[in-house]
Amino acid sequence: MSKSISGFSKLSKRGKLRWLVENFFKDPENVMRELMSYWLLNEEEQKILDGFSENTISNFYLPFGVAPNFVINDKTYAIPMVIEESSVVAAASSAAKFWMTRGGFKAKVISTKKVGQVHFMWSGDANKLEEVFSDLKIKMQEDAAGITKNMVERGGGILDIQLINYTGVEKDYYQIKVNFETCDSMGANFINSVLESFAVSLREFVAVQDHFADEEKEVTVIMSILSNYTPECLVRTWVECPVSELGDFTNDIDAEAFAKKFCMAVRIAHIDQYRATTHNKGIFNGVDAVVLATGNDFRAIEACGHTYAAHDGHYRSLSHCKIENGIFKFWLDLPLAVGTVGGLTKLHPIAKRSLEMLGNPNAEELMMIIATTGLAQNFAALRSLVTTGIQQGHMKMHLVNILNHMGANQEEKDAACKHFIDKVVSFNSVRLFLDEYRSGTSGNVKKKSILKN
Ligand code: HMG
């Protein structure tokens, strides 16, 4: 049987699934039934989900969790998080609880500019193009007025337009770089529509420039597209308190020793790229989970964040820490282009509820919430790393996954959770415990004695 197909996209959803299971699975009927069991019962709601993507055959579930007790700028939030990794929500919640009694998190939006570019080739005298560029800018804006009208009414639109001459790097290559304000929307469709209109205006404009030589009357537009790198769509979030108020930590680490170790851990992530990548991954544990929960584009956010982390030419920590005059300060600057209208924000039923849970924030408030969750996550991870080590907390949360993986029943899970309260969890230690428990030789809780009672 052939494993390739023409016209797959034209098949019905059931037809796609049937073709797939018959070609790629050993037990087609069962797999078909299983994948269909994840379809929503409400057909209308299922159609909305299917509309988000293409060639859909089922739904892929991820846990939807909540991190309560986040005090940000004196307002308390319960933050929705969608993530598959254990201990992330617990860590964020625990950092939120820690800072709740130390003044909470503070956050401010520094700027909200989005970026788009028209990339084009033009073989002419660069001075001539620069001379007429102000006229071209007027034409481009006039031609795009129909597209920008509503955004302008909302207080946004085109902020500025620049001509960038890249011919020193690549023969004939220029760029029109545009800054936008897109208010509460992420703005991707708006920006791309404006840029495509600009590209048409550009071609028309050069074609009628009488003083241009014939070969200068033609432009080859390579592409018109937003940039996901938005270093000027930036938010800052921070926590601070006197070092003495940090309290004492596990393993007899006092506040001062903790603060110093913590700052050094951040410093290491500024020096070393291997550490910086993991450090920033920890930040994105929190960021992505809220971005996903609120129906925003986590690939765009990640791409932008990592580019920003290398904005001085060296990939570094996105967060910073200092101790000054006895005050511990830990902060994060993060570019975040997110929306609270448009896209999936209101279409995805749970994204809609997530935004409602947050009090239907505008885009700027959402930027502050998302960045703060990233900072909280980073704080919790570093606190563990410089005190107990990561495995203690992380593996405690991961225990249930290991037990499920080993096919433990509820009684065995209960016994294991009790047993591992004060012990280090690892795959091997859990396997050993289960073996002993099943054979009735486990030290603390013996299966045989439970069964007898
Ligand atoms: P703990 O001290 O054992 O927690 O910490 P606790 O039992 O004392 O509870 C304190 C609070 O923590 C709770 O307050 C919750 O807020 C939260 P309460 O609700 O009782 O009022 N909490 C939980 N929330 C939900 N479900 C739970 C739960 N348990 C505690 N089951 C904790 C345990 C996991 C919080 C701590 O060890 C921790 O923060 N660990 C860090 C875990 C982490 O960072 N995980 C991310 C995955 S590892 C990774 O990918 C990133 C990394 O590589 C990044 C890097 O290297 O920088 C580490």
pLDDT number for residue 272: 98
Nearest atom, ligand 1, residue 397 CA? 31
* Interval 358-398: pLDDT, tens: 999 999 999 999 999 999 999 999 999 999 888 888 788 88
Q: Whose CA is nearest to atom 38 of ligand 1?
A: 91
Provide the β-strand partners of residue 241. Answer: 328
* Interval 114-149: pLDDT, tens: 999 999 999 999 999 999 999 999 999 999 999 999
Do 322 and 241 contact (CB within 8 A), yes or no? Answer: no
* Interval 326-367: pLDDT, tens: 999 999 999 999 999 988 888 999 999 999 999 999 999 999
Asked: is 67-110+234-387 a CATH 3.90.770.10 domain? The reply is: yes
Q: Whose CA is nearest to atom 33 of ligand 1?
A: 393
pLDDT of 446 strictly over 60: no
Give me the catalytic one of 13, 75, 85, 113. 85
pLDDT of 242 strictly over 60: yes
Query: Smallest Cα–Cα separation from 156: which of 363, 352, 369?
Result: 363
Question: 297 an active-site residue?
Answer: yes
**pTM of the predicted model as reported, rounded to 2 decimal places:** 0.92
Nearest atom, ligand 1, residue 97 CA? 16
Cα separation of 30 and 337, whole Å? 43
Q: How confident is the model at residue 310 (pLDDT cuts 50, 70, 90)?
A: very high
Q: Whose CA is nearest to atom 20 of ligand 1?
A: 94
Q: What token pair was written down for 261?
A: 């170790």
Q: Whose CA is nearest to atom 34 of ligand 1?
A: 393
pLDDT number for residue 147: 97
pLDDT of 262 strictly over 70: yes
Give me the catalytic one of 16, 281, 352, 413. 281
Q: Which residues have a Cβ under 8 Å from the Cβ of 352 and sit 6 or more positions away?
A: 295, 345, 346
Instruction: State whether the beta carbon of 319 lies less than 6 angstroms from ligand 1.
Output: no
Q: Whose CA is nearest to atom 10 of ligand 1?
A: 94
pLDDT of 249 strictly over 90: no
CA of 61 to the centre of ligand 1 (A): 23
The pLDDT of 75-88, averaged and rounded, is 96
CA of 90 to the centre of ligand 1 (A): 4
Three-point CA angle 95, 319, 341, nearest 5°:
75
Question: 306 an active-site residue?
Answer: no
pLDDT of 231 strictly over 50: yes
pLDDT number for residue 217: 94
Better pLDDT: 249 or 152:
152
Q: Where are the domains of the chain?
A: 8-50, 67-110+234-387, 114-227, 393-452
Asked: is 114-227 a CATH 2.30.30.220 domain? The reply is: no
CA of 431 to the centre of ligand 1 (A): 24
DSSP β-ladder status, 157-165 and 220-227 = unpaired
Q: Whose CA is nearest to atom 30 of ligand 1?
A: 90
pLDDT number for residue 1: 55
Cα separation of 246 and 254, whole Å? 9
CA of 87 to the centre of ligand 1 (A): 5
Cα separation of 420 and 383, whole Å? 22
Which amino acid belongs to residue 396?
K
Give me the catalytic one of 196, 288, 297, 412. 297
Return the best residue to mutate from 94, 97, 100, 390 for the ligand 1 pocket (most ligand atoms within 8 A of CB): 94
Question: 85 an active-site residue?
Answer: yes
Do 362 and 184 contact (CB within 8 A), yes or no? Answer: yes
pLDDT number for residue 343: 82
The pLDDT of 309-330, averaged and rounded, is 98
Instruction: State whether the beta carbon of 94 lies less than 6 angstroms from ligand 1.
Output: yes
Q: Whose CA is nearest to atom 36 of ligand 1?
A: 393
Q: What token pair was written down for 446?
A: 């013996």
For residue 207, the tally of other CB atoms under 10 A from its CB is 12
Provide the β-strand partners of residue 332. Answer: 237, 319
CA of 363 to the centre of ligand 1 (A): 28
Return the best residue to mutate from 77, 81, 93 for the ligand 1 pocket (most ligand atoms within 8 A of CB): 93
Instruction: State whether the beta carbon of 335 lies less than 6 angstroms from ligand 1.
Output: no
Nearest atom, ligand 1, residue 393 CA? 37
Q: State the chain's mean pLDDT as an integer.
A: 94
CA of 384 to the centre of ligand 1 (A): 9
Q: Whose CA is nearest to atom 1 of ligand 1?
A: 393
pLDDT number for residue 248: 87
CA of 16 to the centre of ligand 1 (A): 42
